[in-house]
Amino acid sequence: ASCAFWIREVRGPAPGEARWSGRTSRTLTKTLPGLEVHVHLTEHMSTSMIPTRNNLPLKTRTSMADLLNARLADSVDLYSHAKQAHWNVRGGRLFTLHELFDKVSEMALEHSDELAERAGQLGGEVRGTLKDAAKSTSLRPYPHAIGGCEEHVDALSESLAAYGKLVREAID
């Protein structure tokens, strides 16, 4: 299992008592006065392997397929973040940002296909459904109840930066 966490400043009235709550079965949230701390747990997926003539050792192929499936989950989630921004952006730069967010979503979809194809070429079972992505993503959830241009630019920029970091770490 792996763990990711993030802290978000809460604007508005400070909550009463600090408490842990399960926002999903995989994310715990602790609310403190002015802060929310999120801990997201992900299981290590051991990819089912399909017989192949690829001559790399099974252990190498399995670990690479696991890694590709993990980044596939992130890429599918990044696609949904970009579409969420695309559908909900409002304001003076709507048209420009609407097109930009659409291009980001297209790029994420292309990366998803590349990652899935490579996992499959190694003999790995590709885990590319939305449920698989929701269960395994390392990205933090995209915020709801935002509509302004800057808010969506900031939120999607955070998602892109996190995705880029995960991909670079996988390369190393």
Supply the pTM of this predicted model.
0.73
Please state, rounded to an integer, the average pLDDT across all residues of the chain. Answer: 82
Enclosing H/E stretch for 7: strand 2-9
Measured between alpha carbons, how far is 71 from 116 in angstroms, rounded to an integer? 9
How far apart are alpha carbons 129 and 72 in whole angstroms? Answer: 10
Whether residue 41 has pLDDT greater than 70: no
When pLDDT is cut at 50, 70 and 90, the band that residue 40 belongs to is low
Give 139-151 pLDDT, tens digit per residue.
999 999 897 899 9
Better pLDDT: 103 or 28: 103
Half-sphere exposure of residue 103, counting CA atoms within 13 Å on the CB side? 6
